[in-house]
């Protein structure tokens, strides 16, 4: 159906006015949107209540559908497994032998590590779990990599808490509802995880690239210590992520940059463990993070006033005048007056 040549709406003033009003409202809405966007950018935690409520409504439905999604993604995998079974078998045997040797070596190292730790008197802080929840969905069309978690503030989940799967680090909580939370995955472009190389302890920063990979940035310019297959774990620097959670495997390392793949495969992970923030003071933004509460100095008791006879004693020491345990401080308090005899 061809529209009329011009968009004149006839002589109806009401129709003209309606069209004009439509544009005014639309432009006004766009300006308000700019304002909202500016607020969202300056303070990403704004509108938390509204967004948390929306999260609560949408997450359970996604959770119910997740098993269906798992079923379909499982089909392709089983077919390809069937075709690759033969060559995989030989490869796996080789890997098993390698792994067994590694295991023995690491057990020896662990024993040594325990002994050295005990020697140093280091008690490793217990990695407290807040809760275990399911990953029920994620962003799929935006450059952000956000996942939805099926537990919220009702289960103790709070902003900033790290989230891991049994395999490795997933990310951290950036929004909470009552029964659902949103997690920024480590592949998100805004995620920075302080890591270190397992091989030699070189510190680095793992920054997401948005496409399922992670870029590794060393802290020293002009050095590229990464080799293909290197494993990175969290270093605990920054206080947010507990140390020694596996993060990524290096997949390619060129002259200046290294790219890694997360060890916790986002498309396969279903259960996630929410951990406590390693050092709670690190959770908040800098301006709101309260300084560590410093205990007020305990007021020293006022020096006892010397009794008249002590004024001239050259050996008088005020510190010794404190009542010591087992010492009678003064004359016993007068006994309560005897009850008046009954009349």
Binding site residues, another protein, CB under 8 A: 2-3, 5, 7, 18, 22-23, 25-30, 32-41, 44, 46-47, 50-51, 54-55, 57-58, 61-66, 68-69, 73, 135-148, 175, 182, 187-190, 207-212, 266-267, 269
The residues pairing with 192 across neighbouring beta strands, listed in sequence order, are 207
How far apart are the two ends of the chain, measured CA to CA in Å?
A: 115
Q: How far is the CB of 163 from another protein (least distance, A)?
A: 13
- Kindly tell me which of 74 and 306 has the beta carbon lying closer to another protein: 74
Q: How far apart are CA 323 and CA 80, in angstroms?
A: 84
Q: How far apart are CA 318 and CA 305, in angstroms?
A: 8
Decide: 117 and 124 in contact? Cβ < 8 Å.
Answer: yes
User: Of 139, 152, 223, 135, which is closest to residue 187 (Cα–Cα)?
Assistant: 139
Q: How far is the CB of 224 from another protein (least distance, A)?
A: 20
CA torsion 100→103→104→106, rounded to 10°? 160
- Kindly tell me which of 211 and 220 has the beta carbon lying closer to another protein: 211
Q: How far is the CB of 290 from another protein (least distance, A)?
A: 24
Q: How far is CA 119 from the centre of its chain?
A: 31
Q: What is the chain's alpha carbon radius of gyration, rounded to the nearest angstrom?
A: 33
Please list, in sequence order, all residues whose beta carbon lies within 8 angstroms of the beta carbon of residue 153, skipping any fewer than 6 positions away: 52, 176, 177, 178, 181
Give the β-pairing of 146-149 and 162-164: unpaired
Q: How far is the CB of 118 from another protein (least distance, A)?
A: 41
Structure-block tokens of residue 149: 């978690």
Q: How far apart are CA 189 and CA 321, in angstroms?
A: 67
- Kindly tell me which of 33 and 104 has the beta carbon lying closer to another protein: 33
- Kindly tell me which of 15 and 92 has the beta carbon lying closer to another protein: 15
Q: How far is the CB of 117 from another protein (least distance, A)?
A: 37
Q: How far is the CB of 93 from another protein (least distance, A)?
A: 30
- Kindly tell me which of 30 and 103 has the beta carbon lying closer to another protein: 30
- Kindly tell me which of 28 and 323 has the beta carbon lying closer to another protein: 28
Q: How far is the CB of 166 from another protein (least distance, A)?
A: 16
- Kindly tell me which of 42 and 122 has the beta carbon lying closer to another protein: 42
Give the β-pairing of 214-218 and 246-253: unpaired
């Amino acid at each position: 159906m061809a529209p009329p040549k011009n968009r004149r709406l006839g002589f109806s003033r009401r129709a003209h006015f309606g069209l004009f009003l439509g544009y005014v409202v639309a432009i006004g809405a766009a300006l308000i949107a700019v304002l909202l966007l500016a607020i969202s950018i300056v303070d990403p935690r704004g509108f938390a209540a509204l967004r948390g409520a929306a999260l609560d409504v949408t997450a359970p439905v996604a959770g119910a559908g997740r098993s269906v999604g798992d079923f379909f993604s499982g089909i392709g995998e089983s077919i390809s497994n069937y075709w690759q079974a033969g060559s995989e078998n030989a490869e796996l045997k080789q890997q098993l032998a390698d792994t067994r040797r590694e295991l023995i070596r690491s057990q020896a190292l662990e024993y040594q590590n325990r002994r050295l730790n005990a020697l140093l008197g280091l008690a490793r802080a217990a990695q407290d779990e807040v809760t275990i929840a399911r990953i029920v969905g994620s962003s799929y069309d935006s450059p952000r990599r956000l996942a939805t978690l099926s537990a919220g503030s009702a289960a103790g989940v709070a902003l900033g808490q790290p989230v891991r799967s049994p395999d490795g680090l997933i990310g951290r909580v950036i929004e909470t509802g009552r029964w659902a939370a949103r997690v920024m995955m480590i592949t998100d472009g805004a995620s920075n995880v302080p890591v270190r190389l397992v091989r030699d302890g070189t510190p680095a920063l793992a920054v997401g690239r948005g496409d399922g990979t992670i870029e590794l940035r060393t802290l020293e310019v002009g050095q590229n210590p990464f080799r293909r297959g290197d494993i990175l774990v969290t270093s605990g620097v920054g206080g947010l992520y507990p140390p020694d959670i596996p993060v990524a495997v290096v997949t390619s390392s060129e002259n200046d940059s290294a790219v890694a793949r997360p060890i916790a495969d986002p498309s396969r992970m279903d259960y996630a463990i929410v951990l406590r923030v390693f050092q709670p003071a690190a959770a908040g933004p800098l301006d709101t993070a309260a300084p560590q509460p410093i205990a007020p100095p305990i007021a020293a008791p006022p020096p006892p006033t010397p009794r008249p006879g002590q004024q001239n004693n050259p050996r008088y020491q005020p510190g010794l005048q404190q009542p010591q345990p087992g010492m009678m401080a003064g004359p016993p308090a007068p006994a309560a007056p005897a009850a008046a005899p009954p009349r």
